[in-house]
Structure 1
Amino acid sequence: MFDPRLATVAATIQTAIAPVFLLAGIGAILNVLAGRLSRIIDRTRALEALHPRSTGPEHDRHVWELRILDRRISVINAALSLCVASAVAVCLVVALLFVARLVNLHIGQAVAVIFIATMAMLTTGLILFLIEVRISLRAIHVRSELLEREGR
Protein backbone atom coordinates (compact mmCIF):
# COMPACT_ATOMS: atom_id res chain seq x y z
CA MET A 1 0.00 0.00 0.00
CA PHE A 2 1.27 3.47 -0.88
CA ASP A 3 2.12 5.46 2.26
CA PRO A 4 3.36 8.99 1.47
CA ARG A 5 3.05 10.36 5.03
CA LEU A 6 5.57 13.05 5.92
CA ALA A 7 6.89 11.00 8.83
CA THR A 8 7.59 8.09 6.47
CA VAL A 9 9.43 10.32 4.01
CA ALA A 10 11.40 12.02 6.82
CA ALA A 11 12.45 8.66 8.27
CA THR A 12 13.54 7.46 4.84
CA ILE A 13 15.58 10.63 4.29
CA GLN A 14 17.33 9.98 7.62
CA THR A 15 18.12 6.43 6.52
CA ALA A 16 19.41 7.66 3.15
CA ILE A 17 21.79 10.28 4.59
CA ALA A 18 24.78 7.91 4.96
CA PRO A 19 24.60 6.66 1.35
CA VAL A 20 24.25 10.26 0.15
CA PHE A 21 27.45 11.23 2.00
CA LEU A 22 29.12 8.21 0.41
CA LEU A 23 27.95 9.51 -2.96
CA ALA A 24 29.59 12.89 -2.24
CA GLY A 25 32.84 11.12 -1.38
CA ILE A 26 32.71 9.08 -4.56
CA GLY A 27 32.18 12.32 -6.48
CA ALA A 28 35.40 13.72 -5.01
CA ILE A 29 37.25 10.52 -5.94
CA LEU A 30 35.90 10.73 -9.49
CA ASN A 31 37.19 14.29 -9.72
CA VAL A 32 40.70 13.15 -8.75
CA LEU A 33 40.60 10.21 -11.18
CA ALA A 34 39.37 12.38 -14.05
CA GLY A 35 42.12 14.91 -13.32
CA ARG A 36 44.79 12.21 -13.43
CA LEU A 37 43.37 10.82 -16.67
CA SER A 38 43.44 14.30 -18.18
CA ARG A 39 47.11 14.80 -17.24
CA ILE A 40 48.03 11.36 -18.61
CA ILE A 41 46.29 12.16 -21.91
CA ASP A 42 48.05 15.54 -22.13
CA ARG A 43 51.45 13.88 -21.62
CA THR A 44 50.60 11.19 -24.16
CA ARG A 45 49.68 13.78 -26.78
CA ALA A 46 52.89 15.71 -26.14
CA LEU A 47 54.99 12.56 -26.56
CA GLU A 48 53.06 11.50 -29.65
CA ALA A 49 54.01 14.82 -31.23
CA LEU A 50 57.71 14.34 -30.36
CA HIS A 51 57.84 10.67 -31.28
CA PRO A 52 58.14 10.91 -35.11
CA ARG A 53 61.01 13.43 -34.88
CA SER A 54 63.04 11.51 -32.29
CA THR A 55 65.85 9.08 -32.94
CA GLY A 56 68.17 6.79 -31.04
CA PRO A 57 67.99 6.68 -27.22
CA GLU A 58 65.52 9.56 -27.15
CA HIS A 59 63.16 7.63 -29.45
CA ASP A 60 63.50 4.51 -27.29
CA ARG A 61 62.70 6.56 -24.17
CA HIS A 62 59.59 7.99 -25.85
CA VAL A 63 58.39 4.52 -26.82
CA TRP A 64 59.02 3.25 -23.29
CA GLU A 65 57.09 6.15 -21.75
CA LEU A 66 54.23 5.85 -24.25
CA ARG A 67 53.83 2.18 -23.28
CA ILE A 68 53.65 3.14 -19.61
CA LEU A 69 51.17 5.92 -20.35
CA ASP A 70 49.01 3.49 -22.32
CA ARG A 71 48.95 1.12 -19.34
CA ARG A 72 48.15 3.98 -16.96
CA ILE A 73 45.24 5.06 -19.20
CA SER A 74 43.81 1.53 -19.07
CA VAL A 75 44.17 1.24 -15.30
CA ILE A 76 42.75 4.68 -14.50
CA ASN A 77 39.88 4.13 -16.93
CA ALA A 78 38.99 0.88 -15.15
CA ALA A 79 39.15 2.69 -11.80
CA LEU A 80 36.88 5.43 -13.13
CA SER A 81 34.40 2.90 -14.50
CA LEU A 82 34.21 1.03 -11.19
CA CYS A 83 33.79 4.20 -9.16
CA VAL A 84 31.04 5.45 -11.49
CA ALA A 85 29.33 2.06 -11.23
CA SER A 86 29.54 2.28 -7.44
CA ALA A 87 28.00 5.77 -7.52
CA VAL A 88 25.15 4.49 -9.69
CA ALA A 89 24.65 1.63 -7.23
CA VAL A 90 24.49 4.10 -4.32
CA CYS A 91 21.79 6.01 -6.20
CA LEU A 92 19.93 2.73 -6.69
CA VAL A 93 20.20 1.96 -2.96
CA VAL A 94 18.76 5.37 -2.06
CA ALA A 95 15.93 4.99 -4.58
CA LEU A 96 15.13 1.49 -3.30
CA LEU A 97 15.05 2.76 0.28
CA PHE A 98 12.33 5.22 -0.70
CA VAL A 99 10.38 2.76 -2.82
CA ALA A 100 10.52 0.10 -0.11
CA ARG A 101 9.37 2.51 2.59
CA LEU A 102 6.63 4.12 0.55
CA VAL A 103 5.02 0.94 -0.76
CA ASN A 104 5.94 -1.24 2.21
CA LEU A 105 8.20 -3.65 0.31
CA HIS A 106 10.47 -5.94 2.27
CA ILE A 107 13.60 -5.74 0.12
CA GLY A 108 16.19 -5.20 2.81
CA GLN A 109 18.23 -8.16 1.64
CA ALA A 110 18.36 -6.85 -1.95
CA VAL A 111 19.36 -3.38 -0.72
CA ALA A 112 22.11 -4.94 1.44
CA VAL A 113 23.44 -6.98 -1.48
CA ILE A 114 23.51 -3.92 -3.74
CA PHE A 115 25.29 -1.93 -1.04
CA ILE A 116 27.88 -4.70 -0.59
CA ALA A 117 28.43 -4.71 -4.37
CA THR A 118 28.77 -0.92 -4.22
CA MET A 119 31.52 -1.17 -1.64
CA ALA A 120 33.27 -3.95 -3.58
CA MET A 121 33.28 -1.84 -6.75
CA LEU A 122 34.49 1.23 -4.87
CA THR A 123 37.23 -0.76 -3.14
CA THR A 124 38.40 -2.26 -6.42
CA GLY A 125 38.38 1.18 -8.05
CA LEU A 126 40.51 2.57 -5.22
CA ILE A 127 42.94 -0.34 -5.50
CA LEU A 128 43.27 0.36 -9.22
CA PHE A 129 43.89 4.02 -8.41
CA LEU A 130 46.70 2.96 -6.07
CA ILE A 131 48.13 0.70 -8.81
CA GLU A 132 48.05 3.60 -11.29
CA VAL A 133 49.86 5.85 -8.83
CA ARG A 134 52.49 3.15 -8.26
CA ILE A 135 52.96 2.73 -12.03
CA SER A 136 53.46 6.47 -12.42
CA LEU A 137 55.96 6.63 -9.55
CA ARG A 138 57.99 3.71 -10.92
CA ALA A 139 58.13 5.40 -14.30
CA ILE A 140 59.39 8.71 -12.99
CA HIS A 141 63.10 9.00 -12.89
CA VAL A 142 65.43 11.72 -13.96
CA ARG A 143 68.03 10.70 -16.49
CA SER A 144 71.49 10.67 -14.94
CA GLU A 145 72.90 13.03 -17.56
CA LEU A 146 70.43 15.70 -16.43
CA LEU A 147 71.36 15.44 -12.77
CA GLU A 148 74.05 17.75 -11.51
CA ARG A 149 75.91 15.74 -8.91
CA GLU A 150 77.65 17.45 -6.06
CA GLY A 151 81.42 17.29 -6.13
CA ARG A 152 81.80 17.43 -9.89
Structure 2
Amino acid sequence: MATPPDPSAVTHGIQLAVAPVFLLTAVSALIGAVAGRLARIIDRARLVQERARQSDDAAFVARARTELDQLRRRGWLANGCIGLLTCCGLMIGFTIIVLFLGETRGLAVSPWAVGCFLGGVGCFLAALLCFLAETVLATRLLDFDLPPR
Protein backbone atom coordinates (compact mmCIF):
# COMPACT_ATOMS: atom_id res chain seq x y z
CA MET A 1 0.00 0.00 0.00
CA ALA A 2 1.38 3.38 -0.97
CA THR A 3 1.89 5.92 1.76
CA PRO A 4 0.58 9.42 1.19
CA PRO A 5 3.23 12.08 0.56
CA ASP A 6 4.40 14.20 3.46
CA PRO A 7 2.48 17.54 3.51
CA SER A 8 5.72 19.49 3.92
CA ALA A 9 7.16 17.74 0.84
CA VAL A 10 4.05 18.67 -1.14
CA THR A 11 4.35 22.30 -0.02
CA HIS A 12 8.03 22.40 -0.95
CA GLY A 13 7.24 20.70 -4.27
CA ILE A 14 4.68 23.36 -5.10
CA GLN A 15 7.12 26.14 -4.20
CA LEU A 16 9.81 24.55 -6.36
CA ALA A 17 7.48 24.03 -9.32
CA VAL A 18 5.96 27.54 -9.26
CA ALA A 19 9.12 29.33 -10.43
CA PRO A 20 8.83 28.13 -14.07
CA VAL A 21 5.18 29.21 -14.13
CA PHE A 22 6.31 32.82 -14.55
CA LEU A 23 7.90 31.86 -17.86
CA LEU A 24 4.55 30.41 -18.93
CA THR A 25 3.00 33.85 -18.37
CA ALA A 26 5.53 35.42 -20.73
CA VAL A 27 4.96 32.66 -23.27
CA SER A 28 1.19 33.12 -23.25
CA ALA A 29 1.52 36.90 -23.61
CA LEU A 30 3.88 36.53 -26.55
CA ILE A 31 1.60 33.95 -28.21
CA GLY A 32 -1.22 36.49 -27.98
CA ALA A 33 0.91 39.23 -29.51
CA VAL A 34 2.17 37.04 -32.36
CA ALA A 35 -1.32 35.65 -33.04
CA GLY A 36 -2.56 39.23 -33.38
CA ARG A 37 0.26 40.01 -35.84
CA LEU A 38 -0.54 36.83 -37.79
CA ALA A 39 -4.20 37.85 -38.03
CA ARG A 40 -3.19 41.25 -39.45
CA ILE A 41 -0.83 39.56 -41.94
CA ILE A 42 -3.66 37.31 -43.13
CA ASP A 43 -6.11 40.22 -43.39
CA ARG A 44 -3.61 42.29 -45.39
CA ALA A 45 -2.83 39.35 -47.69
CA ARG A 46 -6.53 38.83 -48.41
CA LEU A 47 -6.98 42.53 -49.17
CA VAL A 48 -3.93 42.70 -51.48
CA GLN A 49 -4.94 39.50 -53.24
CA GLU A 50 -8.50 40.72 -53.83
CA ARG A 51 -7.32 44.09 -55.17
CA ALA A 52 -4.81 42.37 -57.47
CA ARG A 53 -7.53 40.07 -58.85
CA GLN A 54 -9.73 43.06 -59.66
CA SER A 55 -6.96 45.15 -61.21
CA ASP A 56 -6.05 45.34 -64.89
CA ASP A 57 -2.84 47.27 -64.15
CA ALA A 58 0.12 44.89 -64.69
CA ALA A 59 2.46 47.04 -62.60
CA PHE A 60 0.03 46.99 -59.68
CA VAL A 61 -0.36 43.20 -59.94
CA ALA A 62 3.44 42.80 -59.94
CA ARG A 63 3.74 44.97 -56.81
CA ALA A 64 0.91 42.97 -55.22
CA ARG A 65 2.74 39.69 -55.93
CA THR A 66 5.89 41.08 -54.32
CA GLU A 67 3.95 42.18 -51.25
CA LEU A 68 2.17 38.82 -51.04
CA ASP A 69 5.54 37.03 -51.12
CA GLN A 70 6.74 39.19 -48.24
CA LEU A 71 3.51 38.62 -46.34
CA ARG A 72 3.90 34.86 -46.88
CA ARG A 73 7.41 34.98 -45.36
CA ARG A 74 6.11 36.98 -42.43
CA GLY A 75 3.31 34.45 -41.95
CA TRP A 76 5.78 31.56 -41.93
CA LEU A 77 7.88 33.34 -39.32
CA ALA A 78 4.83 34.10 -37.17
CA ASN A 79 3.66 30.48 -37.43
CA GLY A 80 7.15 29.26 -36.55
CA CYS A 81 7.21 31.60 -33.59
CA ILE A 82 3.85 30.31 -32.33
CA GLY A 83 5.03 26.70 -32.79
CA LEU A 84 8.24 27.36 -30.85
CA LEU A 85 6.32 29.13 -28.08
CA THR A 86 3.90 26.21 -27.85
CA CYS A 87 6.84 23.81 -27.60
CA CYS A 88 8.34 26.07 -24.92
CA GLY A 89 5.09 25.99 -22.96
CA LEU A 90 4.97 22.21 -23.14
CA MET A 91 8.59 21.88 -22.00
CA ILE A 92 8.03 24.25 -19.09
CA GLY A 93 4.86 22.35 -18.19
CA PHE A 94 6.85 19.11 -18.17
CA THR A 95 9.45 20.82 -16.00
CA ILE A 96 6.78 21.72 -13.47
CA ILE A 97 5.39 18.18 -13.42
CA VAL A 98 8.84 16.61 -13.11
CA LEU A 99 9.90 18.96 -10.30
CA PHE A 100 6.67 18.38 -8.38
CA LEU A 101 6.77 14.60 -8.76
CA GLY A 102 10.47 14.50 -7.92
CA GLU A 103 9.93 16.44 -4.73
CA THR A 104 6.78 14.67 -3.55
CA ARG A 105 7.78 11.12 -4.56
CA GLY A 106 11.50 11.36 -3.85
CA LEU A 107 12.45 10.53 -7.42
CA ALA A 108 15.82 11.48 -8.92
CA VAL A 109 14.55 13.73 -11.70
CA SER A 110 17.18 16.46 -11.82
CA PRO A 111 18.48 15.59 -15.31
CA TRP A 112 14.93 15.52 -16.66
CA ALA A 113 14.03 18.83 -15.03
CA VAL A 114 17.19 20.50 -16.31
CA GLY A 115 16.67 19.11 -19.81
CA CYS A 116 13.03 20.17 -19.97
CA PHE A 117 13.75 23.63 -18.61
CA LEU A 118 16.70 24.28 -20.92
CA GLY A 119 14.71 22.94 -23.88
CA GLY A 120 11.91 25.34 -23.03
CA VAL A 121 14.25 28.30 -22.69
CA GLY A 122 15.91 27.35 -25.99
CA CYS A 123 12.52 27.28 -27.72
CA PHE A 124 11.66 30.64 -26.16
CA LEU A 125 14.89 32.20 -27.45
CA ALA A 126 14.35 30.76 -30.94
CA ALA A 127 10.79 32.14 -30.90
CA LEU A 128 12.13 35.57 -29.99
CA LEU A 129 14.48 35.40 -32.99
CA CYS A 130 11.51 34.53 -35.25
CA PHE A 131 9.58 37.44 -33.77
CA LEU A 132 12.50 39.79 -34.41
CA ALA A 133 12.85 38.59 -38.01
CA GLU A 134 9.12 39.05 -38.61
CA THR A 135 9.13 42.59 -37.25
CA VAL A 136 12.19 43.48 -39.36
CA LEU A 137 10.38 42.20 -42.46
CA ALA A 138 7.28 44.14 -41.47
CA THR A 139 9.19 47.41 -41.27
CA ARG A 140 10.81 46.76 -44.65
CA LEU A 141 7.32 46.67 -46.16
CA LEU A 142 6.66 50.24 -45.03
CA ASP A 143 6.89 52.81 -47.79
CA PHE A 144 7.48 56.29 -46.41
CA ASP A 145 7.77 57.97 -49.82
CA LEU A 146 4.84 60.29 -50.33
CA PRO A 147 4.08 61.95 -53.63
CA PRO A 148 4.90 65.69 -53.68
CA ARG A 149 2.02 68.10 -53.33
Identify the TM-score tier after normalising by the shorter chain. Answer: over 0.9
Q: List alignment gaps of at least 5 residues for structure 1.
A: none
* Partner residue in 2 for 1:60: 62
* Partner residue in 2 for 1:35: 36
8 Å Cα contact 1:26/1:87 also seen in 2: yes
Secondary structure of the equivalent of 1:105? Answer: coil
8 Å Cα contact 1:30/1:80 also seen in 2: yes
Deviation at residue 140 of structure 1 after TM alignment: 1.1
Deviation at residue 102 of structure 1 after TM alignment: 2.0
Distance 1:97 1:13, change over 3 A: same
TM-score w.r.t. the length of structure 2 is 0.92
8 Å Cα contact 1:79/1:125 also seen in 2: yes
Q: List alignment gaps of at least 5 residues for structure 2.
A: none
Aligned counterpart in structure 2 of residue 95 of structure 1, from 97, 110, 118: 97
8 Å Cα contact 1:2/1:103 also seen in 2: no
Aligned residues: 147
Take 2:17 and 2:10, find their aligned partners in 1: how far apart are those partners? 10
Deviation at residue 73 of structure 1 after TM alignment: 0.5
Superposition pairs of residues 61-140 of structure 1, within 5 angstroms: 61-140=63-142
Take 1:8 and 1:62, find their aligned partners in 2: how far apart are those partners? 62
TM-score w.r.t. the length of structure 1 is 0.91
Q: Which amino acid aligns with 2:114?
A: A
Take 2:102 and 2:4, find their aligned partners in 1: how far apart are those partners? 10
Distance 1:135 1:77, change over 3 A: same
Pairwise CA RMSD of aligned residues? 1.5
| Percent of aligned pairs sharing the same letter | 29
Deviation at residue 2 of structure 1 after TM alignment: 5.4
